[in-house]
C-alpha cells in the first residue's frame, strides 16, 4: 500500500469516526451484519443526510465526513448491484427480465449497465 493509499484510508477512517461520534455508532445492527461489524459507509452517509434535516443544527464537520464517505458508499452499492446481477443470472433470470426490473428499455441496456458496474469496480476508488 502506498503512502497515498494509506493517507486516503486514514481520511476515511477519520470520517467514519466523526460520523460515529455524531450518533451513527448507535445505529441498530442490520440483520446481515456480523457482530461487531462496523456500519457500512452507505449507512453512515444516510445517517449524515438524516442529521442534516435541521439545517440550524447541522454540524459542518459531520457533513464534510459524509461527503468524504460518498465515493466509498457508491463503491459498496456497486458491489451489491453486481452481486444481485450475478444472483439474478444464477437464478435463471434473462437479460430482458433484468432490464424490466431496472425499468430499462432493452436487454442490451441491462447488459451494458452490468458491464459499467463491473468496470467501475475494477477502477481504484475515485470521485465517480
Q: What is the pLDDT of residues 63-117, one digit of tens each?
A: 999 999 999 999 999 999 999 999 999 999 999 999 999 999 999 999 999 999 9
Q: Is the dihedral of CA 93, 94, 96, 98 positive or negative?
A: positive
pLDDT exceeds 90 at position 57: no
Whether the model pTM is above 0.85: no
Amino acid at each position: 500500500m502506498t503512502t497515498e493509499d494509506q493517507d486516503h484510508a486514514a481520511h476515511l477512517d477519520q470520517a467514519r469516526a466523526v460520523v460515529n461520534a455524531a450518533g451513527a455508532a448507535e445505529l441498530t445492527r442490520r440483520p446481515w451484519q456480523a457482530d461487531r461489524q462496523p456500519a457500512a459507509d452507505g449507512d453512515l452517509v444516510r445517517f449524515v443526510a438524516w442529521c442534516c434535516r435541521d439545517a440550524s443544527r447541522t454540524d459542518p464537520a459531520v457533513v464534510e465526513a459524509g461527503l468524504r464517505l460518498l465515493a466509498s458508499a457508491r463503491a459498496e452499492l456497486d458491489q451489491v448491484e453486481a452481486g444481485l446481477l450475478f444472483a439474478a443470472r444464477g437464478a435463471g433470470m434473462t437479460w430482458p427480465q433484468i432490464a424490466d426490473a431496472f425499468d430499462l428499455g432493452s436487454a442490451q441496456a441491462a447488459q451494458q449497465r452490468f458491464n459499467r458496474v463491473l468496470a467501475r469496480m475494477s477502477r481504484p476508488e475515485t470521485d465517480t
